Chain A
Amino acid sequence: MAEVESSTAAFEEDDHRVAYIFNAGQSPSQSQLQVVQTAATAATARPAKRRKVAKTTTIDAPKQQQAVVSGPAFPPLFNGAERPDAVQLRQDLFATAWPVLEARVQHVLRDANRTTLDEVAAFLQQAAAAETGKLTAGFIITGPNIASQDLLFEQLAERLGTADQATFVRLRASEAPNLKATWLKMIRDAMAKEGGEDGRKYLDYDLEALRVFLAQQQQRPPRVVVAFQDSEALDSGLLTDLMTLFHSWHDRIRFDVLFGIATSVELFQARLLKSTARQLYGAQFDVVQADSVLERVIKSAVAGTQAALRIGPSLLRSLVERQRDQVAGIQVFVSSLKYAYMCHFYANPLSVLLAGDGRLDSGLVQPEHFEAVRTLDSFKAQAEAAVEARQLNHAQSLIEDDQYLVGLILEQEQKRREYQTQLLRSLHILAAAGLSPSSFVELYMVALASGIDLSQASGTVPAEDAVRRLNPDEFLSLIDRVLKAIHAGSPELGLDAWESDADEFVAALADTRDEVEGLMARAKRNRTSLKSRYSAQSRVLRTTVVSQKVQLSRDTATLTAEDTAFTAAVDTLTALLAQNLHCDPVGRLFLHEAWVYDAKSPYRDVFVPRPAATVARALSRPHDYLACACCSQAAGGGLAATLPPTAILYQLYREAGALVNVADLWSAYYALVGGDDDESDVGLGERAALVCFYRALAELRLMGFVKQSKRKADHVAKLKWL
């Protein structure tokens, strides 16, 4: 085969080595490098490769210095026509945008565990003081996701290690298969800070060694906190032994144990012996639920003002759904978020438009940018809208005048900020006022996807009824909540108080409040209750019996003057809210593509792969990948002699039953690919076909499709149904 021969000798040698340090200089794989270098242009030219390589490396040289600092450089887009400073700007933007968010997310995550930490620490201290003579045990209900426990235990180690001067040891079930290994690991971890004590030699798994070590550390009394992260996975016999031993050492070393529990304490206790359970003095702690942590993370890192990039509604929805459906940890969410940022700045040349603060000047924008902008959907929508509005000049300059476009582009930064502020303020008020039953995350997604509109009939967030149905007390408290929200802002979202910006709104609200307060006072004097036209009591169902027939009639209760005034106030408030809590869907904004990332496909491919389907597709329709001329007639699936042998075998394999006769498989294969012996140019000879057959069968086996079957001679068993 040509491929085998062309591959260099050193490469093959490396193939058989278990592990080695890659050295590009030593292995004569210049041709490989050349493949890489020319890959972008897909050139197959072989000559002059040395020179080419040399040239590219010298060009890269200055870049390498910087690559060490901030990772590899972004490749220029627009088919390589993007200017280096624009590329650099994109990279810088990413480098500044993400760490801010990451820090915020970390802060939120750490903050979420704080109460648990406090409780655990307090309990341990209280237990130490209580002198129960039992083993202190904290049961931390961490929930099913073991991935998110790591942070918690890390924080526990920090907290207890510094505050309580205790030695903290974390154990996973995989690290503790038996008693001896557990001691070994524990003692080693506990003594990791300082090694090399002299004097008596102890065995590695002798707790006495630990005691002596801790005594040297002047811990009075020596104290060790042992945390079992995934206690469900521990062998229950081992657990019992450990508890008994801990207890018996209690007079020399004070052991406290912490259990991370995914299910419930009851189930855990059921695994312990009664005598063991009696040795424990325990308390249960709950960790903040994953849902609320997720909401907080989204509030601060996705919705908050500090998020440079808006995650689009459909992507966000699929991320949130994945969290719920697949019980993926919050870490997965954060990585997905990061990946979205990476994708945007790496692959979208328009992401440079995100740069504010004068870093984006007209000099940086190059003709390709204009071209790219003019292909955007939002640009088309804008131009069409301009035409429809008979602003033909505007439309024409949009399409033709680059300088005009630059002006618009530079304006966008301001508009983006305005939009963002308006969106977040509206959402904050909505959430604070409790006008909508859905959660903040849900509201946010709705607002991005279809805007905020409070009207009952057609709105995305129908809240008018909720306002109308309020009784006067609730009405006042609603206004108070809204005012408070404006007054306080939201540190979580990064919103400052905006009373000064919205003085009209605030004043109108205050007026309404005063008016309703006055009305209430008046109604109280009149000993009537204040009600509005909308409240449910205003309509009365009247029943009259006329000559043994029941007549139903609806009657509108008469409204007093106060009631009418209150109704007017309710109307005013509804109008005010509808007017102020309003925003467009993000997709309707001009140039939103530069700062909204809403592509689902790379996310789905990259984080939720479907390897089985991919392999099945490659094997059943190789044409999809190879795009070769010879296999095109088999493009829709089906057999053809030109298909790769493994693909043919796979098709035959799929048709076969659970047990496959290799002899029949071979004859079927040979009947397909083999030629008559006379005409050697059509089809393969028997031996050559056999070689292909062997290789294909070996590949199927390596991929785990078949295994040896002892039931019949020359049979293999099917293992996969893709």
Chain B
Amino acid sequence: MPRRKLTAEAPVPRVSRKRGLVADPYEVPDEIEAPKRRRQLEPTDPEETEDPADEVPSVVEETPKRRQSRPPKPAVAGTQSSQVTTPSALRQRPLAKTPVKNGIDTPSRRNIADRSARKKSARALIDRVIGGAISDDEVEEGGIAREIYESSEDEDEDERGAQDEDQEPTTPSKTPGRKRKVQARKRSPTPPRDLPPHEQYFYQNKPGLSKTSNNSLSSLDLLTHDEYFSVLRQLEDPHSSDIHFLESLHAQSFPQWAFELSQGFTTCLYGYGSKRRLLHNFATYLSSQSPTHTIVIINGYVRTLTARDILATLSAAASPTAASSNPPATTPTINATTTLPTLLTTLTTPLTLLISSIDAPPLRKPALQTLLTHLAAHPLIHLACTTSTPTFPLLWDAGQRAALNLVFHDCTTFAAPTLAEADVIDEVHELLGRKARRVGGKEGVAFVLRSLPENAQSLFRLLVGEVLVAGMDRDGEGPPRDEGHGEVAVEYRMVYNKAVEEFICSSEMAFRTLLKEFHDHQIITSHKDSIGTELLSLPFRIDELESILEELSV
């Protein structure tokens, strides 16, 4: 019976508090409180505190009454008399007198509400005891009342306990603990372990907790594409044999997946690791099983993917005669609403559609998913897909999911993403906010420049030349690196003047227009230095720049 225990223990801390109060010679008695205390001294039974455990029935009956006469002075008063007679270890603790505030502080709204709930529940409990007979629903009500009543008691208990602990160290100094509010719980430096994910979220997102060091990667030479690939080529994955084995395990399920596809299910492979290769092997398996089936593979991770591409390929696959004549180029405007019905009606042979990364950003558009759903609902089209994020089920609503008729398989491959799936360097640099996506290497630059007018090309040539010259100058002086990239910048004004001299442009306006074009293709970057001079730089390394210059000069 927890309640009895509570009431039995409740007086104990109060006793000690009172003692502390009395023992404190500097304590100025509270005018408002003192008379109250004295007044309430009488009604309480002093024996109750002497040995509360013996008086079980009376305690149980007493409790509600005592509760009603809040603030909880009675016990405090009661102890005064028993102070000498029962010296217990607990009571000897010299504790301060904060709990006083318990009684007279203007109660907060919540306190008032709590108190009235407590009163009500106490009354209900008493009524029930007096009333005797209990029907079923009354038991339930009584349960609630008891709960409210007890929870408040617990709270009090906790509160008191916390205060006591807080004050213990301060007592010797005799600073009046009265002003102190309940202290915020001390934050331990080690994070709590084994929290469930949602708790972890709230824990980690607590305001003020996200303290991170000010270290930055400026001392680290970030990787470039070339270096990345050259290192990658030498790197050997210690797990490659295990990964291969894992893949072969998955490969054993190919017949099963093929069976599922043939029964109108959409097979969806999920789990960590690139499944591009697995899907490719699956395609190979399917075509070895039935060469007559057409298999169309869609790479969802390719950023330029549109509904048009899918439909064009599908219609090429559906009518092989058209496929011979270079399908995507010759087909007229392809539109989902017009092409799809004709496509579906012309389809006569089964068609298997394999989609890698159905949850990749280009495929996340609802319109595309609707299109895929329509396709999958067709009895002659079988769809299998792989996913790469753990949140892929959010792609589909109930209707789409029913139409897709999905079955899922855990295909954790641990395979590293292929080059097409992840442009690692760009991804990381974008993540770090270092550099935006740009045209790949010098081929990209050449490609961009070819589409630009003559004077733009000459301007870029000029720019490259200037940057190279500046780089050489700087090498002579020693490396005053700016930006940590070893990138060399040239002054905007200077380049403009040179451009005017060489008749590349006649006005700053035209110059700006040309630069804007470069900016759009991200083959140039500009920033201001500390005194506000505008600087232009090229996001390439020296040797790259040299080869670009060579190419431009030819």
A contact residues vs B (CB 8 Å cutoff) = 1-5, 7, 11-12, 14-24, 29, 32-33, 35-36, 38-40, 42, 56-57, 60, 64, 67-68, 71-72, 74-75, 145-150, 174, 184-185, 188, 192, 230, 327-329, 331-332, 335, 338-339, 342, 346, 605-607, 609, 611-612, 614-616, 618-619, 622, 625-628, 630, 642, 644, 646, 655, 657-664, 666-667, 687-688, 690-692, 694-695, 697-699, 701-704, 706-708, 710, 712-716, 718, 720-722
B251 contacts partner chain A, Cβ-Cβ < 8 Å: yes
Inside 8 A of A72's CB, which chain B residues have their CB?
255, 258-259, 262, 289-290
A332 vs B416: C-alpha distance in the bound complex, in angstroms?
Answer: 34
Are A17 and B408 in contact, with the CB atoms below 8 A?
no
| Residues of B contacting A23 in the complex (Cβ-Cβ under 8 angstroms) | 287
In-complex Cβ contact of B398 among A147, A612, A687 (8 A): A147
Task: Give me 29 A-to-B residue pairs in the complex whose CB atoms sit less than 8 angstroms apart, sorted by A's number.
Answer: A11-B280, A15-B419, A16-B299, A21-B317, A21-B323, A32-B284, A36-B281, A36-B288, A39-B249, A146-B399, A192-B341, A335-B405, A338-B263, A342-B263, A605-B408, A609-B408, A618-B272, A618-B412, A622-B414, A661-B213, A687-B227, A691-B235, A695-B232, A701-B428, A702-B388, A702-B417, A713-B216, A721-B197, A721-B204
**Beta-carbon contact of A1 and B210 below 8 Å:** no
B472 within 8 A of A: no
Contacts of A18 in B (CB 8 A): 298-299, 302, 304-306, 309, 313
Within the assembled complex, what's the spacing in Å between the Cα atoms of A722 and B201? 9
Q: How far is the CB of A297 from chain B (nearest CB, A)?
A: 15
Interface string of B256-280 (1 = CB under 8 A from A): 1011101101000011110011001
The answer to whether A60 touches B422, judged by C-beta atoms less than 8 angstroms apart, is: no
> Contacts A17-B302, A694-B223 given; 8 further ones with Cβ under 8 A?
A7-B277, A18-B309, A19-B312, A618-B412, A626-B243, A627-B242, A663-B213, A721-B201
CA distance A687 to B391 in the complex (A): 33
Q: Given A72-B258, A150-B399, A657-B209: A1 and B295 within 8 A (CB)?
A: no
| Other-chain residue from B198, B255, B260, B341 in contact with A75 (beta carbon distance below 8 A) | B255
A342 B259 Cβ-Cβ under 8 A: yes
A630/B238 contact (C-beta < 8 A), A64-B289, A145-B398, A346-B256 known: yes
Within the complex, the shortest CB–CB distance from A305 to chain B, in Å, comes to 24
Q: Report the separation of the CA atoms of residues A68 and B258 in the bound assembly, to the nearest whole angstrom.
A: 12
In the bound complex, what is the Cα–Cα distance between A57 and B312 (angstroms)? 32
B113-121, B146-154, B172-180, B429-437: which lies at the A interface?
B429-437
Report whether B403 and A147 are in contact in the complex, using a CB–CB cutoff of 8 Å: yes
Docked CA distance A596–B368 (Å): 41
**Which residue from chain A places its CB closest to the CB of B430 in the assembled complex?**
A708
Contacts of B242 in A (CB 8 A): 626-628
- Nearest-CB distance from A601 to chain B (Å)? 12
Residues of A within 8 A of B228 (CB): 691, 694
* In contact, B421 and A611 (Cβ under 8 angstroms): no
Question: How does the 8 Å CB contact mask read for B406-418 relative to A, with 1 for contact and 0 for none?
Answer: 0111101011111
Complex interface: chain B residues within 8 A of A710 (CB): 433
CA distance A615 to B399 in the complex (A): 26
Is the CB–CB distance between B298 and A618 below 8 Å?
A: no
- On chain A, the residues within 8 Å of B289 by CB distance are 60, 64, 67, 72
Chain A residue with the shortest CB-CB distance to B295: A22
Within the complex, the shortest CB–CB distance from A55 to chain B, in Å, comes to 12
* Given known contacts A20-B297, A329-B402, A614-B271, A71 and B419 CB-to-CB distance under 8 angstroms: no
- Give CA–CA (A704, B271) in the complex, Å: 13
The 6 closest A-B CB pairs, nearest first, are A71-B262, A147-B402, A15-B420, A609-B408, A39-B251, A22-B295
The CA-CA distance from A658 to B191 in the complex, in Å, is 13
Nearest neighbor of B415 in chain A, beta-carbon distance: A3
Name the residue of chain B whose CB is nearest to the CB of A40: B252
User: CB distance A614 to B270 under 8 Å?
Assistant: yes
- The minimal Cβ–Cβ distance linking B388 to chain A, given in whole angstroms, is 6
User: Known interface pairs A74-B259, A609-B408, A626-B246. Does A15 touch B254 (Cβ–Cβ under 8 Å)?
Assistant: no
Q: Which of B233, B298, B408 is A1 in contact with, Cβ under 8 Å?
A: B233
A67 and B290 in contact (CB under 8 A), knowing A19-B305, A627-B242, A694-B424?
yes
- Point out the residues of chain B lying under 8 angstroms from A32, CB to CB: 277, 280-281, 284
- Chain B residues lying within 8 Å of A666, measured Cβ to Cβ, are 217, 220
Chain A residues whose CB sits within 8 angstroms of the CB of B331 once the complex forms: none
Q: For the complex, what is the distance from the CA of A24 to the CA of B251, rounded to whole Å?
A: 17
**Which of B220, B284, B292, B398 contacts A29, CB < 8 Å?**
B284
Interface residues on B, range: 35 or more
Task: From B231, B302, B431, give the contact of A701 (CB < 8 A).
Answer: B431
A605 to B256, CA, bound (A): 15
Within 8 A of A (CB), among B368-403: 370, 387-393, 397-399, 401-403
- How far apart are B428's CB and chain A's nearest CB, in angstroms? 5
A609 contacts B270, CB within 8 Å?
yes
**CB–CB A606/B408 < 8 A:** yes
User: Which of A20, A188, A230, A704: most chain B CB closer than 10 A?
Assistant: A20
Q: Give Cα A694 to B217, complex, Å.
A: 13
Is B85 an interface position by the 8 A CB rule? no
Provide the residues of chain B in CB contact with A692, threshold 8 Å. Answer: 235
Contact with A along B122-146 (1 / 0, CB 8 A): 0000000000000000000000000
Residues of B within 8 A of A3 (CB): 237, 240, 243, 415-416
**Are A22 and B215 neighbours in the complex by a CB distance under 8 Å?**
no
The docked-state distance in angstroms from the alpha carbon of A539 to that of B251 is 73
| B415 x A618 contact (CB < 8 A) | no
Nearest CB of A to B192, in Å:
12
Q: Does B200 contact A (CB under 8 A)?
A: yes
Q: With A35-B281, A618-B271 as known contacts, state yes or no: A698 contacts B427, CB within 8 Å.
A: yes
A15 touches B313 (CB 8 A): no
Q: Which of B214, B354, B391, B431 has the most A CB atoms < 10 Å from its CB?
A: B431
A12 to B276, CA, bound (A): 10
Q: Report B-chain residues with C-beta under 8 Å of the C-beta of A42.
A: 245, 248
Residue B58 interfacial (CB < 8 Å): no
B511 contacts A by Cβ under 8 Å? no
Chain A residue with Cβ nearest B302? A18
- Decide: B341 and A2 in contact? CB cutoff 8 A: no
Complex contacts, A616 vs chain B, CB 8 Å: 390
Most buried by B among A23, A40, A695: A695
Cβ B236 vs Cβ A2 within 8 A: yes
Q: Are B431 and A706 in contact (CB under 8 A)?
A: yes
Contact residues in A for B249 (Cβ distance below 8 Å)? 39
Q: In the complex, what residues of A have CB within 8 A of residue B277's CB? A: 7, 11, 32
Nearest to B429 among chain A residues (CB) is A694
The residue of chain A having its C-beta at the shortest distance from the C-beta of B405 within the complex is: A335
Instruction: Output the least CB separation between A260 and chain B (Å).
Output: 11
B389 CB to closest chain A CB, in angstroms? 5
Distance between Cα atoms of A119 and B506 in the complex (Å): 79
Decide if B291 is an interface residue (CB 8 Å cutoff). yes
Decide yes or no whether B294 CB sits under 8 A from chain A. yes
The residues of B that contact A626 with a CB separation of less than 8 Å are 239, 242-243, 246, 414
Say how far A3's CB is from chain B's closest CB, in angstroms. Answer: 6
In this complex, which of A21, A607, A713 has the most chain B Cβ atoms within 10 angstroms of its Cβ? A21
Q: Are B299 and A64 touching (Cβ within 8 A)?
A: no
Are B416 and A663 touching (Cβ within 8 A)?
A: no
Tell me if B337 is interfacial: C-beta within 8 Å of chain A: yes
Contacting residues, chain A, for B276 (C-beta < 8 A): 15
Is B285's CB within 8 Å of the partner chain A? Answer: yes
Given the complex, which residues of B lie within 8 Å of A701, measured CB to CB? 427-428, 431
Q: Is B212 an interface residue (CB 8 A)?
A: yes
Known: A1-B232, A36-B285, A607-B408. A16 touches B432 (CB 8 A): no
Please determine whether A659 and B210 come into contact, CB atoms closer than 8 angstroms.
Answer: yes
Determine the chain B residues whose CB is within 8 A of the CB of A618 once the complex forms.
Answer: 271-273, 412, 414
Question: Which residue on B lies nearest to A91, using beta carbons?
Answer: B259
A644 to B419 alpha-carbon distance, docked (Å): 18
Complex CA gap A42/B252 in Å reads: 9
**A19 close to B297 (CB less than 8 A):** yes
Decide: A4 near B415, CB < 8 A? Known: A20-B313, A36-B285, A618-B271.
no
